[in-house]
């Protein structure tokens, strides 16, 4: 969420910046809402001051034996006026807040123009995309031939866009998650959390999923409790410190969690409906950093390096791109995507987004900072995938496939699994 004073400041160039991401900011309406709130606050202050002065006058005249009936009547009327003004002020505040909640973050001017991945700028590549002397198969054909996927039964259980993995497939999922968590906690210094998969509306609002993306969320409830299934662990991890003031000297905070993630993917039907690429439920290891606002861009580079290390350790060829201003997430001001090579598609596909949200989420969630000398401010928040389990498994199967139908397992996973190869018949061998 934004400070309306910042948006209204011509130096911010909010209209121009938001137009780069396809959002038209109605500055006139914002100014009207802000003026209404300010005027009503001033009206309340003036009325309260008059009420206090009137109370003192009533007390003084009553002591002097004077008739104060008319003054007391004015005091009662003034009290009613104040109550009405306070109600009106709350409505003005709600109107302004609702308007601000719908405004996305301002994209950084370093980002290229454009509104899709076609406009992303390549930053670097790593590894050599594998070549084959046979036509590479996609992960669905590989997994089904190995007997580790069962999409027919997943459809029976829950319908389309769900997956059942069994045997070696389930073992691989578990090993990938364990490897990623150990990498981030033991080498990168993140603190691991076990989190609720259901959160409330304020939590979803704090990180920017609500109100704009409500149609893309799975919602449930018991009695009068409204709850949302988390689309990413970014939501509960960031909101752990909602409405808190953090000691600036304790920053940065680095958190990670492995959770199920739930997304309805509204409007995306027809795209990636086959296999593990775009599911309603998937597992992911998420990274969140809560940092001093002045250091957020440096911290973004640190988080990006942590996400890249995952793929380097797994030996998976990838590239890093800088997203266009019109293609970044609602809460982000700057985003890198990491795209892994998929031989079946002969292209790179997104496996991780790493974003700097500046103070945008912290303002929404009320995450503040305080230095030892009493200086107060807002924290900055960053988030990134490190990594999604399903898409990582897709890349392992496709980049590791062999001509005889087997799949070679990345070396770093072999100690966790106890084997190096999934044979064409679904058995394993060292």
Tell me which of 51, 155, 350, 363 is the catalytic residue: 350
Helices and strands in the chain, H and E counts: 13, 16
Q: Tokens 């939501």, residue?
A: 235
352 labeled binding residue:
yes
305 catalytic residue (yes or no): no
200 labeled binding residue:
no
350 catalytic residue (yes or no): yes
286 labeled binding residue:
yes
70 labeled binding residue:
no
5 catalytic residue (yes or no): no
265 labeled binding residue:
yes
97 labeled binding residue:
no
383 labeled binding residue:
yes
24 labeled binding residue:
no
250 labeled binding residue:
no
| Nearest C-alpha neighbor of 301 from the set 180, 178, 123 | 123
Tell me which of 308, 391, 398, 406 is the catalytic residue: 391
353 labeled binding residue:
yes
Tell me which of 263, 319, 364, 368 is the catalytic residue: 263
186 catalytic residue (yes or no): no
Given a contact cutoff of 8 angstroms between Cβ atoms, the answer to whether 318 and 310 are in contact is no
263 catalytic residue (yes or no): yes
Residues facing residue 355 across a β-bridge:
335, 383
47 labeled binding residue:
no
Distance CA 401, CA 280 (A): 27
How would you write 159-222 as a 3-class SS string?
CCCCCCECCHHHHHHHHHHHHHHHHHHHHCCCEEECCCCEECHHHHHHCCCCCCCHHHCCEEEE
73 labeled binding residue:
no
Tell me which of 72, 97, 278, 408 is the catalytic residue: 278
Given a contact cutoff of 8 angstroms between Cβ atoms, the answer to whether 226 and 219 are in contact is yes
3-state secondary structure of 139: helix
Angle (nearest 5°) at CA 167 between 163 and 173: 60
Distance CA 356, CA 369 (A): 18
Tell me which of 353, 355, 364, 398 is the catalytic residue: 353
16 labeled binding residue:
no
Q: Which residues are annotated as a binding site?
A: 232-234, 263-265, 286, 350-353, 383, 385
Q: Which residues are annotated as a binding site for ATP?
A: 263-265, 350-353
Q: Which residues are catalytic?
A: 263, 278, 350, 353, 391
Q: Which residues are annotated as a binding site for L-serine?
A: 232-234, 263, 286, 383, 385
């Amino acid at each position: 969420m934004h400070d309306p004073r910042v948006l209204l400041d011509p130096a911010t160039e909010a209209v121009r910046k938001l137009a780069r991401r396809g959002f038209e900011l109605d500055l006139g309406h914002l100014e009207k809402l802000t003026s209404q709130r300010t005027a009503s606050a001033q009206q309340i202050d003036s009325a309260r001051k008059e009420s206090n002065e009137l109370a003192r006058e009533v007390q003084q005249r009553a002591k002097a034996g004077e008739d104060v009936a008319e003054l007391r009547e004015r005091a009662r009327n003034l009290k009613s006026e104040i109550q009405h003004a306070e109600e009106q002020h709350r409505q003005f505040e709600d109107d302004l807040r609702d308007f601000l909640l719908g405004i996305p973050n301002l994209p950084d001017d370093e980002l290229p123009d454009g509104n899709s991945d076609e406009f992303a700028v390549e930053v670097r590549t790593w590894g050599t995309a594998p070549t084959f002397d046979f036509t590479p198969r996609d992960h669905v054909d590989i997994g089904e031939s190995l007997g580790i996927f069962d999409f027919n039964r997943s459809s029976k259980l829950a319908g389309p866009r769900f997956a059942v993995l069994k045997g070696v497939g389930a073992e691989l999922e578990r090993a990938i998650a364990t490897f990623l968590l150990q990498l981030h906690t033991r080498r990168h210094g993140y603190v691991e959390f076990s989190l609720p998969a259901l959160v409330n509306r304020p939590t979803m609002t704090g990180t920017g999923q609500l109100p704009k993306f409500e149609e893309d969320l799975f919602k449930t409830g018991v009695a009068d409790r409204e709850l949302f299934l988390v689309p990413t662990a970014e939501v509960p991890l960031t909101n752990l410190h909602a409405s808190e003031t953090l000691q600036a000297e304790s920053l940065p905070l680095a958190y990670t969690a492995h959770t199920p993630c739930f997304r309805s993917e509204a409007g995306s039907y027809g795209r990636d409906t086959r296999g593990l690429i775009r599911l309603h439920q998937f597992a992911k290891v998420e990274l969140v950093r809560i940092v001093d606002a002045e250091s957020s861009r440096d911290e973004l580079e640190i988080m990006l390096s942590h996400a890249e290390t995952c793929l380097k350790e797994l030996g998976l060829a990838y590239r890093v791109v800088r997203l266009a201003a019109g293609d970044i997430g609602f809460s982000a001001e700057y985003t890198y995507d990491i795209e892994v090579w998929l031989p079946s598609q002969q292209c790179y596909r997104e496996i991780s987004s790493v974003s700097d949200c500046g103070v945008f989420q912290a303002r929404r969630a009320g995450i503040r900072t305080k230095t030892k000398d009493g200086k107060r401010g807002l924290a900055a928040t960053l988030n990134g995938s490190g990594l999604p389990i399903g898409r990582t498994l897709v890349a392992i199967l496709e980049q590791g496939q062999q001509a005889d139908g087997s799949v070679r397992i990345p070396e770093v996973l072999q100690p966790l699994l106890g084997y190096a190869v999934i044979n064409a018949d679904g058995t394993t061998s060292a």
